[in-house]
Chain A
Amino acid sequence: MNPNYQLTDSQDSYGFGFLDEFAKREIRRVILKAISIPGYQTPYASREMPMGRGFGTGGLQLTLSMIGPEDTLKVIDQGSDDSVNAVNLRKFAELTCPDVSTTESTTEATLIQTRHRVPEIALREDQVLNLQVPYPDPLVIVEPSEAKRKIMHGEGDYARLLTKLYEDLVKFDEITISHRYPTRINGHYVIDPSPIPRYDVPKLHQSQALLLFGAGREKKIYAVPPYTNAEPLVFDDVPFRTENFYNADGKRRACNRCGSTNSFLDELNLEDGSKAWQCSDTDFCNRQLARTDAGEVTQ
Protein backbone atom coordinates (compact mmCIF):
# COMPACT_ATOMS: atom_id res chain seq x y z
CA MET A 1 0.00 0.00 0.00
CA ASN A 2 1.34 3.43 -0.91
CA PRO A 3 2.13 5.30 2.33
CA ASN A 4 0.89 8.53 0.75
CA TYR A 5 -2.39 6.98 -0.29
CA GLN A 6 -5.41 9.03 0.70
CA LEU A 7 -8.97 7.84 0.57
CA THR A 8 -11.04 9.68 -2.00
CA ASP A 9 -13.69 12.07 -0.71
CA SER A 10 -16.48 9.64 -1.47
CA GLN A 11 -14.84 7.03 0.77
CA ASP A 12 -13.87 9.46 3.47
CA SER A 13 -17.12 8.90 5.31
CA TYR A 14 -16.22 5.40 6.50
CA GLY A 15 -16.60 5.16 10.24
CA PHE A 16 -13.82 4.44 12.68
CA GLY A 17 -12.61 0.89 12.12
CA PHE A 18 -14.18 0.56 8.64
CA LEU A 19 -17.07 -1.63 9.82
CA ASP A 20 -20.43 0.06 10.38
CA GLU A 21 -21.80 0.16 13.91
CA PHE A 22 -24.38 -2.55 13.22
CA ALA A 23 -21.68 -4.94 12.01
CA LYS A 24 -19.54 -4.19 15.05
CA ARG A 25 -22.48 -4.69 17.40
CA GLU A 26 -23.25 -8.09 15.89
CA ILE A 27 -19.64 -9.23 16.16
CA ARG A 28 -19.53 -7.93 19.75
CA ARG A 29 -22.63 -9.95 20.68
CA VAL A 30 -21.10 -13.04 19.10
CA ILE A 31 -17.79 -12.54 20.93
CA LEU A 32 -19.59 -12.50 24.28
CA LYS A 33 -21.47 -15.71 23.42
CA ALA A 34 -18.24 -17.31 22.20
CA ILE A 35 -16.53 -16.53 25.51
CA SER A 36 -19.55 -17.86 27.41
CA ILE A 37 -19.41 -21.21 25.57
CA PRO A 38 -15.65 -21.88 25.38
CA GLY A 39 -14.64 -23.53 22.11
CA TYR A 40 -18.09 -23.35 20.49
CA GLN A 41 -17.99 -22.10 16.90
CA THR A 42 -20.49 -19.27 17.13
CA PRO A 43 -21.92 -18.33 13.71
CA TYR A 44 -21.91 -14.71 12.63
CA ALA A 45 -22.55 -12.67 9.48
CA SER A 46 -19.01 -12.21 8.22
CA ARG A 47 -18.84 -8.93 6.30
CA GLU A 48 -17.22 -8.30 2.96
CA MET A 49 -13.86 -6.69 3.61
CA PRO A 50 -11.73 -4.86 1.06
CA MET A 51 -9.48 -7.93 0.76
CA GLY A 52 -10.03 -11.51 -0.25
CA ARG A 53 -11.52 -13.99 2.16
CA GLY A 54 -8.69 -16.17 3.36
CA PHE A 55 -6.42 -13.18 3.90
CA GLY A 56 -7.36 -12.78 7.53
CA THR A 57 -10.77 -11.16 7.29
CA GLY A 58 -12.06 -13.10 10.30
CA GLY A 59 -9.27 -11.93 12.57
CA LEU A 60 -9.53 -8.44 11.13
CA GLN A 61 -13.25 -8.19 11.83
CA LEU A 62 -12.59 -9.21 15.45
CA THR A 63 -9.88 -6.57 15.75
CA LEU A 64 -11.90 -3.78 14.10
CA SER A 65 -15.00 -4.47 16.19
CA MET A 66 -13.13 -4.07 19.48
CA ILE A 67 -10.34 -1.59 18.75
CA GLY A 68 -10.47 1.91 20.20
CA PRO A 69 -8.25 4.99 20.20
CA GLU A 70 -6.55 3.85 23.43
CA ASP A 71 -5.35 0.58 21.90
CA THR A 72 -1.92 -0.42 20.70
CA LEU A 73 -2.12 -2.96 17.90
CA LYS A 74 0.44 -5.54 16.83
CA VAL A 75 -0.12 -7.65 13.72
CA ILE A 76 1.99 -10.71 13.00
CA ASP A 77 2.08 -13.29 10.25
CA GLN A 78 3.93 -16.54 11.11
CA GLY A 79 5.57 -14.68 13.99
CA SER A 80 6.86 -11.90 11.78
CA ASP A 81 5.75 -8.26 11.84
CA ASP A 82 7.22 -7.66 8.40
CA SER A 83 5.65 -10.25 6.13
CA VAL A 84 3.11 -9.25 3.52
CA ASN A 85 -0.09 -10.23 5.31
CA ALA A 86 0.93 -8.54 8.56
CA VAL A 87 2.13 -5.34 6.90
CA ASN A 88 -1.03 -4.93 4.85
CA LEU A 89 -3.45 -5.66 7.68
CA ARG A 90 -1.54 -3.29 9.96
CA LYS A 91 -1.62 -0.54 7.32
CA PHE A 92 -5.34 -1.08 6.84
CA ALA A 93 -5.88 -0.65 10.58
CA GLU A 94 -3.73 2.50 10.56
CA LEU A 95 -5.73 3.87 7.65
CA THR A 96 -9.16 3.20 9.10
CA CYS A 97 -8.54 3.68 12.85
CA PRO A 98 -7.16 7.17 13.44
CA ASP A 99 -5.33 7.64 16.78
CA VAL A 100 -4.63 3.91 17.21
CA SER A 101 -0.96 3.16 17.83
CA THR A 102 0.72 0.20 16.22
CA THR A 103 3.76 -1.58 17.55
CA GLU A 104 6.03 -4.53 16.86
CA SER A 105 6.60 -5.18 20.55
CA THR A 106 4.63 -8.03 22.08
CA THR A 107 4.75 -6.49 25.54
CA GLU A 108 3.54 -3.02 24.47
CA ALA A 109 0.55 -4.28 22.49
CA THR A 110 -2.97 -4.39 23.95
CA LEU A 111 -4.41 -6.14 20.90
CA ILE A 112 -2.47 -8.68 18.85
CA GLN A 113 -3.79 -10.02 15.59
CA THR A 114 -1.92 -13.07 14.43
CA ARG A 115 -1.72 -15.54 11.60
CA HIS A 116 -0.48 -19.02 12.51
CA ARG A 117 1.62 -18.30 15.61
CA VAL A 118 1.17 -17.49 19.29
CA PRO A 119 3.91 -15.06 20.44
CA GLU A 120 6.82 -16.61 22.36
CA ILE A 121 6.50 -14.13 25.21
CA ALA A 122 3.63 -15.16 27.49
CA LEU A 123 0.63 -12.85 27.16
CA ARG A 124 -0.90 -10.92 30.06
CA GLU A 125 -4.45 -10.48 31.31
CA ASP A 126 -4.74 -7.04 29.73
CA GLN A 127 -3.94 -8.36 26.25
CA VAL A 128 -6.21 -9.98 23.66
CA LEU A 129 -4.99 -12.32 20.91
CA ASN A 130 -7.09 -12.48 17.72
CA LEU A 131 -6.18 -15.46 15.57
CA GLN A 132 -7.00 -15.67 11.86
CA VAL A 133 -8.61 -19.00 11.13
CA PRO A 134 -8.95 -20.64 7.69
CA TYR A 135 -10.77 -23.84 8.74
CA PRO A 136 -12.62 -23.67 12.05
CA ASP A 137 -14.09 -27.15 12.33
CA PRO A 138 -11.81 -30.07 13.32
CA LEU A 139 -14.61 -32.55 12.56
CA VAL A 140 -14.77 -31.67 8.88
CA ILE A 141 -12.27 -34.43 8.01
CA VAL A 142 -14.59 -37.10 9.43
CA GLU A 143 -18.10 -35.72 8.83
CA PRO A 144 -19.15 -33.70 5.76
CA SER A 145 -22.55 -32.54 7.06
CA GLU A 146 -22.41 -29.40 9.18
CA ALA A 147 -25.79 -30.20 10.76
CA LYS A 148 -24.40 -33.51 12.00
CA ARG A 149 -21.13 -31.92 13.09
CA LYS A 150 -23.04 -29.42 15.23
CA ILE A 151 -24.80 -32.25 17.03
CA MET A 152 -21.51 -34.11 17.48
CA HIS A 153 -19.92 -30.97 18.96
CA GLY A 154 -22.89 -30.42 21.25
CA GLU A 155 -22.70 -33.96 22.55
CA GLY A 156 -18.91 -33.79 22.87
CA ASP A 157 -18.76 -36.80 20.55
CA TYR A 158 -15.23 -36.94 19.12
CA ALA A 159 -14.96 -40.70 18.72
CA ARG A 160 -14.46 -40.47 14.95
CA LEU A 161 -11.73 -37.87 15.35
CA LEU A 162 -9.95 -40.12 17.85
CA THR A 163 -10.30 -42.98 15.37
CA LYS A 164 -8.54 -40.84 12.78
CA LEU A 165 -5.69 -40.22 15.22
CA TYR A 166 -5.57 -43.94 16.04
CA GLU A 167 -5.35 -44.85 12.35
CA ASP A 168 -2.37 -42.51 12.09
CA LEU A 169 -0.67 -44.32 14.95
CA VAL A 170 -1.32 -47.69 13.34
CA LYS A 171 0.03 -46.59 9.97
CA PHE A 172 2.86 -44.27 10.93
CA ASP A 173 3.53 -44.79 14.68
CA GLU A 174 2.90 -41.05 15.01
CA ILE A 175 -0.06 -38.69 14.86
CA THR A 176 0.66 -36.95 11.58
CA ILE A 177 -0.90 -33.57 12.34
CA SER A 178 1.80 -30.91 12.22
CA HIS A 179 -0.39 -27.87 12.75
CA ARG A 180 -4.09 -27.21 13.49
CA TYR A 181 -3.88 -29.84 16.23
CA PRO A 182 -7.40 -30.61 17.60
CA THR A 183 -7.58 -29.25 21.13
CA ARG A 184 -10.29 -29.79 23.71
CA ILE A 185 -11.43 -26.65 25.52
CA ASN A 186 -12.74 -26.80 29.08
CA GLY A 187 -13.36 -30.53 28.73
CA HIS A 188 -16.09 -30.18 26.11
CA TYR A 189 -15.69 -28.64 22.65
CA VAL A 190 -12.76 -29.60 20.45
CA ILE A 191 -11.47 -26.69 18.37
CA ASP A 192 -9.20 -26.27 15.41
CA PRO A 193 -6.75 -23.84 17.01
CA SER A 194 -5.92 -22.36 13.54
CA PRO A 195 -2.69 -23.42 11.81
CA ILE A 196 -0.45 -22.80 14.80
CA PRO A 197 2.35 -25.38 15.14
CA ARG A 198 2.08 -28.04 17.82
CA TYR A 199 4.72 -26.03 19.67
CA ASP A 200 2.11 -23.33 20.39
CA VAL A 201 -0.73 -25.58 21.52
CA PRO A 202 0.40 -25.74 25.19
CA LYS A 203 0.32 -21.91 25.24
CA LEU A 204 -3.47 -22.03 24.89
CA HIS A 205 -3.76 -23.90 28.19
CA GLN A 206 -4.52 -21.63 31.16
CA SER A 207 -3.44 -18.58 29.15
CA GLN A 208 -3.67 -15.29 31.02
CA ALA A 209 -4.98 -13.51 27.93
CA LEU A 210 -8.28 -13.94 26.13
CA LEU A 211 -7.79 -15.85 22.86
CA LEU A 212 -10.31 -15.22 20.09
CA PHE A 213 -10.51 -17.08 16.79
CA GLY A 214 -12.15 -15.52 13.74
CA ALA A 215 -12.92 -17.44 10.55
CA GLY A 216 -14.14 -14.90 8.00
CA ARG A 217 -14.80 -17.21 5.08
CA GLU A 218 -16.45 -19.87 7.26
CA LYS A 219 -18.32 -17.22 9.30
CA LYS A 220 -17.43 -18.52 12.77
CA ILE A 221 -16.02 -16.97 15.92
CA TYR A 222 -14.82 -19.00 18.91
CA ALA A 223 -12.88 -18.31 22.04
CA VAL A 224 -10.56 -19.75 24.63
CA PRO A 225 -11.15 -17.63 27.73
CA PRO A 226 -8.27 -16.91 30.13
CA TYR A 227 -7.48 -19.57 32.74
CA THR A 228 -9.25 -22.28 30.76
CA ASN A 229 -8.09 -25.82 30.14
CA ALA A 230 -6.96 -26.51 26.57
CA GLU A 231 -5.86 -30.10 26.10
CA PRO A 232 -4.63 -31.52 22.80
CA LEU A 233 -6.57 -34.63 21.83
CA VAL A 234 -4.33 -37.61 22.67
CA PHE A 235 -4.43 -41.12 24.05
CA ASP A 236 -3.49 -41.99 27.62
CA ASP A 237 -0.48 -44.05 26.50
CA VAL A 238 0.70 -41.72 23.70
CA PRO A 239 1.68 -38.37 25.16
CA PHE A 240 1.43 -35.18 23.09
CA ARG A 241 4.70 -34.20 21.45
CA THR A 242 5.79 -30.83 20.15
CA GLU A 243 8.47 -29.99 17.59
CA ASN A 244 11.86 -30.55 19.23
CA PHE A 245 14.28 -29.15 16.59
CA TYR A 246 16.89 -31.78 17.30
CA ASN A 247 19.65 -32.22 14.75
CA ALA A 248 21.01 -35.62 13.67
CA ASP A 249 23.11 -35.80 16.85
CA GLY A 250 20.08 -35.26 19.05
CA LYS A 251 21.15 -31.74 19.98
CA ARG A 252 18.63 -28.88 20.02
CA ARG A 253 19.24 -26.46 17.17
CA ALA A 254 19.79 -22.80 18.04
CA CYS A 255 18.56 -19.74 16.18
CA ASN A 256 21.10 -18.70 13.55
CA ARG A 257 20.59 -15.06 14.41
CA CYS A 258 20.11 -14.73 18.17
CA GLY A 259 21.31 -18.12 19.38
CA SER A 260 18.12 -18.88 21.28
CA THR A 261 17.41 -22.54 22.00
CA ASN A 262 13.95 -22.05 23.48
CA SER A 263 11.89 -20.70 20.59
CA PHE A 264 10.06 -22.04 17.56
CA LEU A 265 12.45 -22.13 14.59
CA ASP A 266 11.84 -21.64 10.88
CA GLU A 267 13.90 -23.75 8.49
CA LEU A 268 15.55 -21.61 5.82
CA ASN A 269 17.03 -22.85 2.58
CA LEU A 270 20.19 -20.88 1.86
CA GLU A 271 21.55 -20.07 -1.58
CA ASP A 272 24.32 -22.66 -1.37
CA GLY A 273 21.82 -25.42 -0.72
CA SER A 274 22.46 -25.68 3.00
CA LYS A 275 19.86 -25.05 5.66
CA ALA A 276 19.68 -22.63 8.55
CA TRP A 277 17.27 -22.23 11.45
CA GLN A 278 15.97 -18.94 12.75
CA CYS A 279 13.36 -17.78 15.29
CA SER A 280 9.91 -17.50 13.75
CA ASP A 281 8.91 -14.77 16.25
CA THR A 282 10.88 -11.73 15.07
CA ASP A 283 10.12 -9.61 18.13
CA PHE A 284 11.40 -12.36 20.41
CA CYS A 285 14.51 -12.79 18.22
CA ASN A 286 15.25 -9.04 18.29
CA ARG A 287 14.91 -9.00 22.07
CA GLN A 288 17.32 -11.92 22.45
CA LEU A 289 19.74 -10.20 20.10
CA ALA A 290 19.53 -6.93 22.02
CA ARG A 291 20.22 -8.80 25.24
CA THR A 292 23.23 -10.54 23.73
CA ASP A 293 24.51 -7.21 22.44
CA ALA A 294 24.11 -5.76 25.90
CA GLY A 295 26.53 -8.39 27.14
CA GLU A 296 24.08 -10.66 28.89
CA VAL A 297 24.24 -14.38 28.49
CA THR A 298 21.40 -15.91 26.51
CA GLN A 299 19.40 -18.95 27.66
Chain B
Amino acid sequence: MNNPNTALQPDSVWSPLFQQRAFRALMTAFSFPGRRQPLPPCVDAKGPACIAAVLCDNEVTLADPDHLIQPDDIRRLGIGEASVENAGFIIADGSRAPSFEPALGSLAEPEQGATLIIRVASLDGTTAFPLTLRGPGIEGTQSLGLRGLHDGWLAERARWNRNFPMGVDLILVDDTQVVALPRTTQISGGGN
Protein backbone atom coordinates (compact mmCIF):
# COMPACT_ATOMS: atom_id res chain seq x y z
CA MET B 1 0.00 0.00 0.00
CA ASN B 2 1.38 3.35 -0.93
CA ASN B 3 1.96 5.52 2.05
CA PRO B 4 0.76 9.01 1.20
CA ASN B 5 3.71 10.45 3.07
CA THR B 6 6.21 8.93 0.69
CA ALA B 7 4.40 9.17 -2.65
CA LEU B 8 5.59 12.72 -3.18
CA GLN B 9 7.02 15.41 -0.98
CA PRO B 10 4.15 16.06 1.46
CA ASP B 11 4.63 19.78 1.10
CA SER B 12 4.19 19.74 -2.67
CA VAL B 13 0.86 21.02 -3.91
CA TRP B 14 0.66 17.95 -6.19
CA SER B 15 1.02 15.37 -3.40
CA PRO B 16 -2.10 13.38 -2.45
CA LEU B 17 -1.54 14.22 1.20
CA PHE B 18 -1.52 17.97 0.58
CA GLN B 19 -4.58 17.67 -1.61
CA GLN B 20 -6.48 15.71 1.02
CA ARG B 21 -5.65 18.26 3.72
CA ALA B 22 -6.44 21.20 1.49
CA PHE B 23 -9.75 19.61 0.49
CA ARG B 24 -10.71 19.23 4.14
CA ALA B 25 -9.93 22.92 4.64
CA LEU B 26 -12.17 23.69 1.66
CA MET B 27 -14.93 21.38 2.86
CA THR B 28 -14.88 23.06 6.27
CA ALA B 29 -14.87 26.46 4.58
CA PHE B 30 -17.97 25.55 2.55
CA SER B 31 -19.67 24.06 5.62
CA PHE B 32 -19.13 27.25 7.62
CA PRO B 33 -19.29 30.14 5.11
CA GLY B 34 -17.29 33.18 6.11
CA ARG B 35 -14.99 31.37 8.52
CA ARG B 36 -11.34 31.60 7.55
CA GLN B 37 -9.59 28.26 7.06
CA PRO B 38 -5.81 28.00 6.84
CA LEU B 39 -4.50 26.14 3.81
CA PRO B 40 -1.95 23.45 4.67
CA PRO B 41 1.65 24.55 4.06
CA CYS B 42 3.18 23.86 0.68
CA VAL B 43 6.37 24.92 -1.05
CA ASP B 44 5.54 25.15 -4.72
CA ALA B 45 2.28 27.13 -4.96
CA LYS B 46 0.14 29.56 -3.08
CA GLY B 47 -3.38 30.91 -3.11
CA PRO B 48 -5.40 30.25 -6.28
CA ALA B 49 -2.93 27.70 -7.65
CA CYS B 50 -3.41 25.52 -4.53
CA ILE B 51 -7.18 25.53 -4.97
CA ALA B 52 -6.90 24.73 -8.69
CA ALA B 53 -4.54 21.83 -7.97
CA VAL B 54 -7.00 20.36 -5.46
CA LEU B 55 -10.15 20.69 -7.57
CA CYS B 56 -9.21 20.81 -11.26
CA ASP B 57 -8.05 18.18 -13.72
CA ASN B 58 -8.75 17.24 -17.31
CA GLU B 59 -12.43 16.54 -16.57
CA VAL B 60 -13.25 20.19 -15.90
CA THR B 61 -12.77 23.48 -17.65
CA LEU B 62 -10.96 26.41 -16.12
CA ALA B 63 -10.63 29.99 -17.26
CA ASP B 64 -7.85 32.21 -15.97
CA PRO B 65 -8.49 35.59 -17.61
CA ASP B 66 -6.13 37.46 -15.26
CA HIS B 67 -3.27 34.93 -15.71
CA LEU B 68 -2.88 34.18 -12.00
CA ILE B 69 -1.55 30.66 -12.61
CA GLN B 70 1.88 29.97 -14.04
CA PRO B 71 1.83 28.43 -17.56
CA ASP B 72 3.76 25.42 -16.20
CA ASP B 73 1.06 24.79 -13.60
CA ILE B 74 -1.66 25.13 -16.22
CA ARG B 75 0.04 22.40 -18.26
CA ARG B 76 0.43 20.25 -15.17
CA LEU B 77 -3.26 20.58 -14.33
CA GLY B 78 -4.12 19.30 -17.79
CA ILE B 79 -7.34 21.27 -17.67
CA GLY B 80 -9.65 21.82 -20.58
CA GLU B 81 -9.62 25.41 -21.75
CA ALA B 82 -12.85 27.32 -22.01
CA SER B 83 -14.09 30.85 -22.34
CA VAL B 84 -15.00 32.58 -19.07
CA GLU B 85 -18.67 32.29 -19.96
CA ASN B 86 -18.55 28.49 -20.21
CA ALA B 87 -15.88 27.48 -17.71
CA GLY B 88 -16.69 25.34 -14.68
CA PHE B 89 -13.95 27.08 -12.70
CA ILE B 90 -12.88 30.70 -13.04
CA ILE B 91 -9.83 32.19 -11.40
CA ALA B 92 -9.95 35.95 -11.07
CA ASP B 93 -8.24 38.89 -9.43
CA GLY B 94 -10.54 40.34 -6.79
CA SER B 95 -9.09 43.86 -6.98
CA ARG B 96 -10.77 44.45 -10.35
CA ALA B 97 -14.50 44.44 -10.96
CA PRO B 98 -15.74 41.35 -12.80
CA SER B 99 -16.34 41.89 -16.49
CA PHE B 100 -17.84 38.55 -17.47
CA GLU B 101 -20.98 36.48 -17.10
CA PRO B 102 -20.21 33.06 -15.57
CA ALA B 103 -22.26 29.93 -16.13
CA LEU B 104 -25.14 29.82 -13.64
CA GLY B 105 -26.38 26.29 -14.31
CA SER B 106 -30.00 25.47 -15.02
CA LEU B 107 -33.05 24.78 -12.90
CA ALA B 108 -32.61 21.03 -13.39
CA GLU B 109 -28.81 21.10 -13.13
CA PRO B 110 -27.77 23.92 -10.80
CA GLU B 111 -24.42 22.25 -10.10
CA GLN B 112 -23.33 23.46 -13.56
CA GLY B 113 -23.00 26.95 -12.08
CA ALA B 114 -19.37 28.05 -12.01
CA THR B 115 -17.03 28.00 -9.04
CA LEU B 116 -15.18 31.31 -8.83
CA ILE B 117 -11.76 31.29 -7.21
CA ILE B 118 -11.05 34.91 -6.35
CA ARG B 119 -7.67 36.12 -5.14
CA VAL B 120 -7.94 38.90 -2.56
CA ALA B 121 -5.20 40.87 -0.84
CA SER B 122 -5.93 39.65 2.65
CA LEU B 123 -8.50 37.67 4.62
CA ASP B 124 -7.02 38.52 8.01
CA GLY B 125 -10.11 40.39 9.13
CA THR B 126 -8.71 43.90 9.39
CA THR B 127 -11.30 46.14 7.86
CA ALA B 128 -13.43 48.87 9.34
CA PHE B 129 -16.62 47.63 7.69
CA PRO B 130 -16.85 43.86 7.86
CA LEU B 131 -19.46 41.97 5.89
CA THR B 132 -22.31 40.30 7.74
CA LEU B 133 -23.26 36.85 6.49
CA ARG B 134 -26.38 34.76 7.03
CA GLY B 135 -27.55 31.43 5.68
CA PRO B 136 -26.94 27.68 5.88
CA GLY B 137 -23.76 26.83 7.79
CA ILE B 138 -23.98 29.98 9.89
CA GLU B 139 -25.39 30.04 13.40
CA GLY B 140 -27.08 33.45 13.50
CA THR B 141 -24.64 35.74 11.73
CA GLN B 142 -20.99 35.54 10.74
CA SER B 143 -18.72 38.54 10.34
CA LEU B 144 -16.13 38.58 7.55
CA GLY B 145 -13.41 41.18 7.20
CA LEU B 146 -11.29 41.20 4.08
CA ARG B 147 -9.23 43.54 1.94
CA GLY B 148 -8.75 43.66 -1.79
CA LEU B 149 -12.21 42.70 -3.03
CA HIS B 150 -13.72 45.18 -5.47
CA ASP B 151 -17.29 46.19 -4.52
CA GLY B 152 -18.43 45.09 -7.98
CA TRP B 153 -17.98 41.44 -7.01
CA LEU B 154 -20.62 41.49 -4.29
CA ALA B 155 -23.09 43.36 -6.48
CA GLU B 156 -22.56 40.96 -9.37
CA ARG B 157 -22.67 37.94 -7.06
CA ALA B 158 -26.05 39.07 -5.74
CA ARG B 159 -27.31 39.39 -9.32
CA TRP B 160 -25.90 36.01 -10.40
CA ASN B 161 -27.41 34.28 -7.35
CA ARG B 162 -30.83 35.93 -7.43
CA ASN B 163 -32.60 32.82 -8.76
CA PHE B 164 -31.83 29.96 -6.39
CA PRO B 165 -30.93 27.15 -7.09
CA MET B 166 -29.00 28.66 -10.01
CA GLY B 167 -25.92 30.66 -9.17
CA VAL B 168 -22.17 30.71 -8.56
CA ASP B 169 -20.09 29.69 -5.57
CA LEU B 170 -17.16 31.83 -4.49
CA ILE B 171 -13.87 30.75 -2.98
CA LEU B 172 -11.94 33.75 -1.68
CA VAL B 173 -8.26 33.06 -1.20
CA ASP B 174 -5.20 34.99 -0.13
CA ASP B 175 -1.73 33.43 0.08
CA THR B 176 -2.46 31.19 3.05
CA GLN B 177 -6.15 31.24 3.90
CA VAL B 178 -9.45 30.50 2.26
CA VAL B 179 -13.07 31.57 2.79
CA ALA B 180 -16.03 30.10 0.92
CA LEU B 181 -19.22 31.93 0.00
CA PRO B 182 -21.65 29.34 -1.40
CA ARG B 183 -24.66 30.63 -3.33
CA THR B 184 -26.93 30.28 -0.27
CA THR B 185 -25.02 32.85 1.81
CA GLN B 186 -26.70 36.25 2.14
CA ILE B 187 -24.29 39.15 2.47
CA SER B 188 -24.98 42.59 3.91
CA GLY B 189 -22.84 45.47 5.13
CA GLY B 190 -19.30 46.13 3.97
CA GLY B 191 -17.85 49.02 2.02
CA ASN B 192 -14.19 50.02 2.20
Interface residues, chain A, CB within 8 Å of chain B? Answer: 7, 12-16, 21-22, 24-26, 28-38, 40, 42-43, 65-69, 95-96, 98-99, 125, 128, 147, 150-151, 153-155, 186, 188-189, 206, 210, 225-229
A299 to B48, CA, bound (A): 52
Find the residue from A26, A37, A225 having the highest chain B CB count within 10 A: A37
Chain A residues within an 8 Å CB radius of B20: 24, 66-68
Contact of B3 (CB < 8 Å), options: A16, A26, A229: A16
Chain B residues within an 8 Å CB radius of A33: 111, 115, 169
Contact B7–A15 (Cβ < 8 Å): yes
For window 168-192 of B, CB contacts with A under 8 Å fall at 169, 180, 182-184
Interface size class of B (residues with CB under 8 A): 35 or more
Least distance between A225 CB and chain B CB atoms (Å): 4
Interface residues, chain B, CB within 8 Å of chain A? Answer: 1-5, 7, 16-17, 19-21, 23-24, 26-27, 30-32, 54-57, 59-60, 106-111, 115, 136-139, 164-165, 169, 180, 182-184
Chain A residues within an 8 Å CB radius of B26: 28, 32
Known: A22-B59, A25-B57, A40-B165. A227 touches B136 (CB 8 A): yes
Chain A residues within an 8 Å CB radius of B30: 32, 35-36, 225
Contact B107–A31 (Cβ < 8 Å): no
Chain B residues within an 8 Å CB radius of A22: 57, 59
Known: A16-B4, A36-B183. A68 touches B21 (CB 8 A): yes
Contact A32–B169 (Cβ < 8 Å): yes
Contact A155–B1 (Cβ < 8 Å): no
Contact of A35 (CB < 8 Å), options: B31, B59, B108, B165: B31
Least distance between A212 CB and chain B CB atoms (Å): 9
Known: A25-B54, A68-B17, A186-B184. A225 touches B31 (CB 8 A): yes
